[in-house]
Amino acid sequence: MRILTLVKRVPAPGARINITEDSQYVDDKNLGHAVSPHEECGVEAAVQLVEQYGGEATVLSMGGPEAEEQLRVAVSVGISKMVLVPTDGAPKDPQQTAATLVTAIEELEAADGPFHLIIFGNESADQGGFQVGIRIANALGRPMVNGIKGLELPEGQDPASGEGHIIARREVDSGFEVYELPLPACVGVKEGINLPRYPTMKGRLASKKAELTSVDASAEPGGQAQVRLKSPPEKVSETVILGNGPDAAPAIVDLLEELGVM
């Protein structure tokens, strides 16, 4: 199976997210960076599928040169190839992002053949546009379902052929919806599909030797534009302390009664 998984480099903030003075960025001066959590699971899903069915997984990121860090993390956990679509690092709108990536993916596929499965994260941790994967799938003419928490090939299917289906499970309140998407296909995965492994030291050291492929691509901005970032209004009301320790139990139950949940 040939798999492509896409990741975005995002800051790893704490309980408060600060914004830069120009209101355009999350102030990440003192923050580490990570792959968006859903995409981290996408990387793990790709690695597991390759472990199970054979083949090769490629990771791609669009971003500034520092996104190489996230690509190498993906390689250190078992992805074999990495591709950077370099940008100036400024946030792009979803249409522009999708169009850029379509160009890049088409170039990769023209060179090495189609990816049987393209794995996106359900949404990015920061901008959360909920659409880039779907736009790409549509442009490539491939089926796409978001919110996927399980992936497997039907029994007896030849994984190397790239033909057949992939069974994708989407979690809903009561259980799962099951989709059988014909390959080549796209999915947006959600955290919970797996518990991503951490890199090993040997994996990390091996990832340093991996070659980074750069694919230049660009597109015009779309119709949505960011004006500024801002923090949501702070909660104004004071917290009512009902008491300390187990002695507070009666006051708590009074509250439960008042709220009608008893």
Q: Which 214-253 positions form the footprint of another protein (CB under 8 A)?
A: 222-232, 235, 237, 239-253
Please state the closest distance from residue 163 (CB atom) to another protein, in A. Answer: 14
256 belongs to the binding site for another protein (CB under 8 A): yes
Q: Could you give the string, one character per residue 35-54, with x where binding to another protein holds by CB under 8 A and - elsewhere? A: --xx----------------
- Contact (Cβ atoms closer than 8 angstroms) between residue 132 and residue 120: yes
Distance CA 162, CA 173 (A): 32
- Contact (Cβ atoms closer than 8 angstroms) between residue 121 and residue 189: yes
Q: Which of 111, 201, 211, 236 binds another protein (CB under 8 A)?
A: 201
- Residue whose CB is less far from another protein, 111 or 232: 232
Residues in the chain, overall count: 262
Q: Which of 51, 172, 212, 218 binds another protein (CB under 8 A)?
A: 172
With vertex at residue 31, the alpha carbon angle to CA 28 and CA 36, rounded to the nearest 5 degrees, is 85
- Residue whose CB is less far from another protein, 111 or 225: 225
In this chain, which stretch among 32-40, 55-63, 78-86, 156-164 interacts with another protein, using CB under 8 A? 32-40
Distance CA 237, CA 224 (A): 35
**CA dihedral for 151, 155, 158, 162, sign (positive or negative):** negative
